[in-house]
Structure 1
Amino acid sequence: MRQLILHIGSHKTGTTAIQHWIAANRDVLARRGIADLSFGEEPNAHGFLTWDEPGPIFPRGFRLDKPAEFAEALAAVQAERVIVSSENFSFFFEQKAIGQLARLVKPLFDEVVVLCYLRRQDRHAVSHHMEGARPARPPEWELWGHGFGALPQVNPLQALYLDYDKRLAKWEKAFGRKALRVRVFDRARLEGGDIVTDFLTTLGIDAEGCSTPETVNTSLDRVKARIGHMANAMTGNEEVTKALLRATPNSKTPARPGRLVAKGFLARYVAGNRALNARLGISQIPELFDDDFDDLPDEPMQTWSDEEFNRAMRSAVTVVKRLIDASAPPRLDDLSAAARALAATAPVRALRLVELALLQRPSGRALLAMQAELQANIASGQHMDLSDGPDGEDE
């Protein structure tokens, strides 16, 4: 029986760790009749998905980029069990997009499993909002914004993602209730306290003889998160954000909301969580998730310590200095020396260097003499070293 496993996320539930584990163990899995469909050299299927451009990504969300090519690639995978993993399937907000996916894959397989991990909404929002502090994250920027708090400022689009009851109802409608395997992402409730172990156990995949790759996708601390959000909001320049994040050391102090703020954020989704759990029987807890907020402070940590402020300032100053150094014009001595070195072999290039130097010092006697000599050599077709320049200051 040929089976398709659609691993649809959600984001921030260890999907990267799962994808890297699969990629690291492809040979072993292949001997057991298991393969994955990835795009290019990436260990995931992100490249098969897209959104409509130009314009906002949401509320429409993602869809298949080239449906026929996706179906062809999927049909070409020769294995009894095929895994397609992309957390960006969780951005499929329209029934039309999910229905199209279902119509394409169902004829190719005897069974389709849709596996989704869900994280308590306040915890998910904190982590996913932090992801928007990284460069090149348009969906996260649009969905969560660039606020400086641990939790994003609430907007109507967020319910498209965080109302798990309505979101998964669309997948249930397209694939059927039996296809859905929904797991709670909480290390205390995962098999072995580990997302990869839980993934394999849920799907009945034997891990014997497989290797465990290094942990990837390190979270940003609260200083780096604020710096990244500020850079993205102010500049929209990917290179600026990258430079600032690289220059800022990471600590182990995460961004955390206050207890009451987190409870208030979660409250709007409790009824939907209860309805989803009643329908699918996911958790022994009626509300689907625990209501433990003891790991959070009474009040949100808004103020930076002196160490955090200094760390942020050091990174900003470091990046500014690098930018200034990179944009500084070449020194006159360097241009002059390079021109002399090229005069006999590449006089046209040597002349260009002298002309650049003259932009900095238009009346430089030595530079003007070099320019005249190079022009004469080029006109006569002679390639020779330059004579020594005039004595004295080059003014």
Structure 2
Amino acid sequence: MKKLILHIGFHKTGSTTLQSFFAKNENELRRRGLWIANAGRENKAHLIHSHLFWDLVESDLFDSKKGGLNECKDELNHLPNRAKLMISTEGFSRLKKPKDLLSLFDEAEIQVIAFRRKKSSLASSLYIESLKAGSNSTFIEFLDKESFLLDHDHICDLWRKENIDFIDFDIGDFSSNKALVTTFLNSIGIDHDGFTFNEKRLNTSVSESEAFALFLANNLLRHSNLRLPTSEKLRFLSKIRSSHTDLARDQRRFDLTELEAAALNTKLSNPFTPEKLRSSRELDSLRYIKYVTLMSARHLDVTPGERMLRILREKARTFTNQSL
């Protein structure tokens, strides 16, 4: 019987570290009997099979040229004896009915591996990821909307019920990338000796002030007539983030007045902690609505840097109750 290994994440549990390791060591892993599916890969430095998930859920993001689940099944069927095929994508952790996927490979021996994370540390990380992708939800709205994704224990229980070999680990138990990768390799029967491990952090952190800038920009885009393609929107948000980082280092970079700079520094402190947002509706305040309305009425045919300057100025002036 052929063996299929599914690495399903979860989100924000070291998946990028693992997928980068897979990409850099694919030839050696194959030599040791682990094939990584060619179908469904994204063109990224780390190896992730997003298109297989998008194929399963019939998403518009699926590109048949990348290969889908049928092509993946063909790869599994043509494996050498005793070889294993692996798929890695956090998308599968979103499935409320894992059987929809598992039934497609019912003739294979299936092993599923997941890394869990506690809700208390997971929530803020997932929320910031949603902002980077263009969400305009407040933290409280996000908690309500994504309650399923935040409950790793419940998701693990759904997979365990499917009568498969399911292994899960708590990401908090790992102090290094090497420990994480070694544990994964050991769980699928591969010796970790002979591999090199990268301890560099692959995903950069987003500060709370950067997250606030993204939140405001997402709402600005949502309320304006500006329609950006996804790729351009992501570049725009990345530029906003870098511009805001520059502002934190040098207030004079954008020639903000001392009053404006003080308003930004005061209002951007710790805006996304659950405790603060549960006790304050600052992000939904009339002043914020006024800011969005004013900015939405303006032309946005400027460079991202100039657009960010306008956003910062208008936000600062609104917070200081100055006339616009």
Normalising TM by the smaller chain, what interval?
A: 0.5 to 0.7
SS in 2 for 1:132: helix
Q: 1:207 to 1:92 in 2, by over 3 A?
A: same
Secondary structure (helix, strand or coil) at the match of 2:105 reads: helix
Alpha-carbon distance change, 3 to 191 in structure 1, aligned in 2, over 3 angstroms: farther
- 1:276-291 superposed matches below 5 A: none
Q: What is the SS of the residue equivalent to 2:48?
A: coil
Q: Which amino acid aligns with 1:19?
A: Q
- Contact 1:191-1:197 within 8 A present in 2 as well: no
| 1:247 matches 2:243 | yes
**Counterpart selection for 2:174 from 190, 193, 216:** 190
Choose the corresponding residue for 1:172, options 141, 149, 160: 160
Query: Residue in 2 aligned with 1:228?
Result: 214
Q: Does 1:35 align with 2:24?
A: no
Q: Distance in 2 between matches of 1:117 and 1:26?
A: 21
**What is the CA deviation profile of residues 10-61 of structure 1, one whole-angstrom value per residue up to 9, with x for unaligned ones?**
000010110000110112111111121141544111111224568xxxxxxx
Q: Decide which structure has the larger Cα Rg and report it.
A: 1
* Residue 202 (structure 1) aligns with: 187
Q: 1:15 to 1:255 in 2, by over 3 A?
A: farther
Residue identity opposite 1:163 in structure 2: D
Query: Conserved in 2, the CA contact under 8 Å of 1:11 and 1:128?
Result: yes
Query: Relative contact order (C-alpha < 8 Å, sep 6+): which is higher?
Result: 2
| CA root-mean-square deviation | 3.8
Contact 1:13 1:185 in 2 (8 A): yes
SS at 2:113's partner residue? strand
1:85 aligns with 2:93: no
Shift in alpha-carbon separation, 1:116–1:256, aligned structure 2, 3 A: farther
What is the DSSP-based 3-state SS (H/G/I as helix, E as strand, rest coil) of the residue aligned with 1:27?
helix
Q: Are 1:24 and 1:211, in contact at CA under 8 Å, matched by a contact in 2?
A: no
Give the one of 46, 51, 74 matched to 1:47. 51
CA–CA separation in structure 1 for the residues paired with 2:72 and 2:270: 38
Pair 1:70-2:72 in alignment: yes
Count residues with an aligned counterpart.
247
Whole-Å separation in 2 of the counterparts to 1:230 and 1:76: 50
Correspondence 1:261 to 2:252: no
Specify which structure has the higher proportion of helix: 2
Sequence identity of aligned pairs in percent?
Answer: 22
1:116 is displaced (CA, Å) by 1.0
CA deviation map 1:140-181 (0-9, x unaligned): x3xxx532xxx544554322222334323332233x1x5110
TM-score (norm 1): 0.53
For residue 129 of structure 2, the aligned residue among 89, 106, 131 is: 131
Partner of 1:104: 104
2:291 corresponds to: none
Conserved? CA contact 1:172–1:180, under 8 Å: yes
Q: Residue 221 and residue 155 in structure 1: after superposition, are their counterparts in 2 closer, same or farther (change >3 A)?
A: closer
Unmatched segments (≥5 aa) in structure 1:
55-64, 266-298, 303-315, 325-395
TM-score, normalised by the number of residues in structure 2? 0.63
Residue matched to 1:117: 115
| Aligned counterpart, 1:146 | 137
